[in-house]
Every structure is written in C-alpha cells, then in structure tokens.
Amino acid sequence: MKEIISSTPAMLLLVIGSYYIGTLLYRRIRSAWVHPVAVAMILCIVALLVLDIDYPTFKAGTAFLDFLLGPTVVALGYLLYEQIEHLRGREIAIFAATIIGGAVGITSVILIGHLFGLDETLIASLTPKSATMPIAIPLSELSGGLPAVTAVVVFLTGLVGSLIGPWLLDVCHITHPIARGLALGSASHGIGTSRAIELGAIEGAVSGLAIGLTGVAISLLLPLVEWMM
C-alpha cells in the first residue's frame, strides 16, 4: 500500500489535485491570500505528513513537473510576441531596469546576511531568490548553497511578490503597465507573472520577459558580486 501511495502517479495526482482545489478556492473567494500555489503547497505538506512520505520520494515522483518549469517559462515568449509593439524603443530602459534590479537583489541579500551573522552557506542559498526556479537552484549549487532552501525561498519570494506587489506599486503611484510588469517579473518571477497576467496583457508579457532577463542578469552578476564582496 505504501508503495502505491508513494508512486509517481500518486505524487503527480497529489500535486495536480491540490492545485485544482486551490484554483477552485481562489475563484470562489477571489483573494490573493488564497493563491492556488499557496493552497496547493499547504495541502501537499499536510498530505505528506499524514501519509508519512519523505521529501526525496516526493521530489522523485514529481520530477516531470520540475522538467516542465523550463518549457513553461519559454512559452511565456508567446505573450511577448503579441505585445512586441509596446516594447519597441524601450529596450535600453528594460535592460537597465533588470540589470540594476538583479544587482540590488544580490547585494542586499549578502549585506543583510552578513549584518545578521548568517553563515556563507545560507547566504549562498538566498542570493538567487529573484531568479526563476530552474536558474536559481543551479546557481545555488554552484555558490555552495542548499538547493532545498533556495527552492523554498524562491517560492516564498514569488508568493509574497504576487500578494503585495500590485498593492505596493499602487501605493508608489507606479501605473505604467511596462513598469508594473517589469517589477513583478524581476522580483517575483513565475508566480508574480501569473499575477501580472491578471492585471493586463502588457503587464503579463513584460513580466515574462523580465523573468528571462533577470535570470540572465543574476547568472552573470552573482559570481562578480560574490568575488567583490
């Protein structure tokens, strides 16, 4: 019985079913605080604890979903293609924003980590938090971090960004759809992009672009910043 419960089909059913329940709950309540990803995470954790299934078994059973993260990010390029006319003439501003955002994200984590006396392994696990998961985890490994910690931090970063990002942008009177999309995509990657798509087509397309640009920027800047600091 335990082998059936912990099998790959069962793990995939658990994740997909939990997300489906989260989607139904979100459609009914219409609150960002019951984001489908957050609900799915809680349901999966509870199920794993009740069924006494360890994380390595869960990770092995859901490896196919991990693989799909890469193609999913690439598929966001179609949204960008549809809104390409809105981006013409703003290439320098977009590139500058993502590079500066990536640099600030990395240096702030390192400085705050040293300020609070965190060890180097934990700091290395936190620095790629603004990159999408397929990029953040390899960067964490190369920097000597813990991929499991990085995965949790990346998820929480995306979730928090999707929850408070639009509100914070409104408070700061940032209304331009390109600026809003860049902010959500560069700070909170995939989950933030799903929220950006809800805000508008331009916001969603630019947010998808920001995921890729931020990932590239962090990949290039992380070794340089670590060497300088």
Which among 113, 159, 154 is positioned nearest to 137, based on CA atoms? 154
Sequence-distant (≥ 6) Cβ neighbours of residue 202 within 8 angstroms: 83, 86, 177, 178, 181
DSSP for 146-176?
A: -HHHHHHHHHHHHHHHHHHHHHHHHHTT---
Distance set, CA 78 to CA 44, 189, 206 (Å) = 31, 17, 11
17 confidence band (pLDDT: 50, 70, 90): very high
**pLDDT given at position 194:** 81
Q: What is the pLDDT of residue 146?
A: 86
> Is 134:70 a contact under the CB 8 Å cutoff?
yes
What is the reported pLDDT for 57?
A: 86
Q: What is the pLDDT of residues 67-121, one digit of tens each?
A: 787 777 677 777 777 778 877 778 888 888 888 888 888 888 888 888 888 888 8
* Per-residue pLDDT tens over the stretch 156-212: 888 888 888 888 999 999 898 888 988 888 888 888 888 888 888 888 888 888 888
